[in-house]
Amino acid sequence: MVVATPMPIQSEKIKEFDLPIIDLSFDRSVVSKLIVKACEEFGFFKVINHGVPHDVITRMEEESLGFFAKPAHEKQRAGPANPYGYGSKNIGFNGDVGEVEYILLSTNLTSISQRSKTLSNDPIKFSFAVRGYMEAVRDLASEILDRLAEALRVAHTSVFSGLIRDVDSDSILRLNHYPPLIKDSFKDRDTSTLHPHYKPNNRIGMGEHSDPQILTLLRSNDVGGLQISPEDGVWVPVSPDPTAFFVNVGDVLHAMTNGRFVSVRHRALANSKRPRISMAYFAAPPLQAKITALDQFVTQSRPNLYRAFTWAEYKKATYSLRLGDSRLKLFRVVEEDHEIASLDKDLQHQTSFKH
């Protein structure tokens, strides 16, 4: 079994940065430019005055807490997460583990209704909470994507948001519970296989990774643990804020902007004496949607970095790799391809000049 590397280790640097905070109630054009800047510099920002009703958030969090408070044998009935349902410790299909339990839900209404029967003693109430929350965060994600398109002066302002508003959108909701630290949980455990710099009070909840989708909207309670990595070996702790949403760029948006927007790597540590609850909405395109860089992001000096792919292809690659592996590398256009394309253009130019 592949075990997630306990963190931090001596080679890492923990830095404090003033991460972007964007107030969506401010002037639209100003806010749009700030979002673009945040996507370019960090691939991450916090939004306040986001418009998602407090009661919608509260209902969803209460339902999450209610499920995770159940005895283990009851929760197991809703699993395994293949791909939807309940999961614990195991993350994905390739051996990654973490100190987390979670629920993965499709945004499909029929799927939500069916899954709610195994997740709650009151399926109608649970389903109502999930639908209300998903609709609200989808609207917020769409607004952010539309503002990005406006600021970038993309021909069709719905070029991004249309992918997640599509009836066949493959977006998902993930509800996470990071249990609190139990001081004596490692008392009788064989630690010979652990990393030499392992600290029992600093466990990995969810290991380092980037999100494969277009955009992620994350909401958590007031317990810290989220960290982003703006550069290799550097980690920036993100202060919790239950009133805000944290937004990060996913691999698909990175590819569609030809690398201009950064698909930021991040992780979650379970190092608190209090449980951490988070709710992540992963905005994704339909399975057959073709993903390629928009024309305005491809120039002679910056040729296309990635070959075109469908979301189904990319999703398959995601499931085939470990959590921390780079999926985008599999779709990168090699330098030789760029050189050949350049030579072809020169030859065409020379031929047209002769004629």
CATH number (domain holding residue 26): 2.60.120.330
In a domain, 137, yes or no: yes
The secondary structure element, H or E, covering residue 316 is helix 311-320
Given a cut of 80, whether residue 336 has pLDDT beyond it is no
In a domain, 20, yes or no: yes
Mean pLDDT of all residues belonging to the chain = 87
DSSP character string of 83-134: SSEEEEEEETTTTEEEEEEEEEEES-HHHHHHHHHHH-SSHHHHHHHHHHHH
How many domains does the chain divide into? Answer: 1
- Per-residue pLDDT, 344: 45
- Per-residue pLDDT, 348: 43
Query: What's the token pair of residue 326?
Result: 């780079």
In a domain, 7, yes or no: no
pLDDT in tens, 88-142: 999 988 899 999 999 999 999 999 999 999 999 999 999 999 999 999 999 999 9
Least confident segment among 67-76, 150-159, 181-190: 181-190
Q: Are 118 and 75 in contact (CB under 8 A)?
A: no
In a domain, 353, yes or no: no
Of residues 270, 279, 265, the one with CA closest to residue 44: 265
Q: Among all residues, which ones are annotated catalytic?
A: 276
In a domain, 355, yes or no: no
In a domain, 93, yes or no: yes
In a domain, 4, yes or no: no
In a domain, 194, yes or no: no
Measured in degrees and rounded to the nearest 5, phi and psi for residue 227 equal -140, 145
Q: Model pTM greater than 0.85?
A: yes
Bridge partners (DSSP) of residue 175 are 103, 279
- Per-residue pLDDT, 214: 98
The residue range of the domain holding 343 is: 13-182+200-348
Given a cut of 80, whether residue 338 has pLDDT beyond it is no
pLDDT in tens, 27-65: 999 999 999 999 999 999 999 999 999 999 999 999 999
